[in-house]
Structure 1
Amino acid sequence: MMSSIILNLSPAIRLTDDQFYEICQTNQDLRFERTASGDLIIMSPTGGESGQKEADIITDLNNWNRQKKLGVVFSSSTGFKLPKGGDRSPDAAWISLERWQSLSTTERKKFPPICPDFLIELRSQTDDLEKLREKMQEYLDNGLRLGWLIDPQNRAVEIYRLGQVVELLSSPSTVSGEDILPDFVLDLTSIFQEE
């Protein structure tokens, strides 16, 4: 399995938002992210086990959202233009209805210029844990209210909250959406299950 590749662009080569969007649309078999400094990240496709776990997580989040009708759920193929300059694609994301509706139709069609209120990053076998932690911090720096870094390899969840120290849970059976996602509880049994 291949891990992600970082293409360091020189300061002279600076992709505009439209150029980055066009690269992503022209190469839809690849997943791209862009750091705040402009480096291009080419991510490998997810393996079968990680993809199945990601699908389960998104299904649970979307089922909760359909009942509560409090916001909008996004899959890992959605890119977000973060306020401080990066373009990122979390594995699952949620934005409150009020914040989503504040965006124009044009902003919603491309990479929405907003940081999700809530998101999940699911560590795959090839993901570097420190890089994922840096990415979670980048989300917090851009206004994320609640985020979960789920690490099946170590049976751990790191909870990121705006303005608070990261909380580490070891082998939790569930994790709660707290006041951001009222009554949402993710069962981690299948996520931590050995294949």
Structure 2
Amino acid sequence: MTTYTIDLRSVLEMTDDQFYKLCRANPDIKLERNVRGELIIMSPTGGETGNRNIEIAGEFVFWNRQTKLGKLFDSSTCFKLKGGSDRSPDLAWIKQERWYQLTPEQREKFPPITPDFVLEL
């Protein structure tokens, strides 16, 4: 997977809300933001990688349905992390009690929480 980093800080200080709106306005582009505020553009994966990723993710879904211990998220979920970065891991898991400590509004946008477990595939 190829990534591109764009530094807009010299022309624009993007707020969390502006970044959220930018992502929502461009759903076909996978955007992240590092701790320096630079935009990261992620390219899509190929077929073999996508198939391998879904097989691995499926195992986590099966486990989580059995245990009911938390919430699973795919790479389309962006998390607002401590330190200011916004990241979308391939797979993330958050303990149920931590997830429900967030307000409904926080859960709807980019959740301001560091997942308990992440997997980059």
Query: Is TM (by shorter chain) over 0.5?
Result: yes
Secondary structure in structure 2 of the residue aligned to 1:55: helix
User: Greater RCO between the two (CA within 8 Å, min separation 6)?
Assistant: 2
Say whether residues 1:65 and 2:64 are aligned partners.
yes
Say whether residues 1:82 and 2:107 are aligned partners.
no
* 8 Å contact from structure 1 (residues 57, 92) kept in 2: no
% same residue:
53
Partner of 1:33: 32
Partner of 1:106: 105
Distance in 2 separating the partners of 1:23 and 1:67 = 37
Shift of 1:108: 0.2
Structure 2 length-normalised TM = 0.96
Partner of 1:96: 95
Say whether residues 1:13 and 2:15 are aligned partners.
no
Partner of 1:44: 43
Give unpaired runs (5+ residues) of structure 1.
123-195
Distance in 1 separating the partners of 2:39 and 2:58 = 29
Give unpaired runs (5+ residues) of structure 2.
none
Distance in 2 separating the partners of 1:12 and 1:39 = 12
Shift of 1:99: 0.4
Cα root mean square deviation, aligned:
1.1
Shift of 1:11: 4.3
Distance in 2 separating the partners of 1:4 and 1:101 = 33
Q: AA paired with 2:44?
A: P
Partner of 1:53: 52
Structure 1 length-normalised TM = 0.60
Distance in 1 separating the partners of 2:59 and 2:93 = 12
Distance in 1 separating the partners of 2:101 and 2:43 = 33
Shift of 1:10: 2.4
Cα offsets for 1:118-140 (capped at 9, x unmatched)? 01001xxxxxxxxxxxxxxxxxx
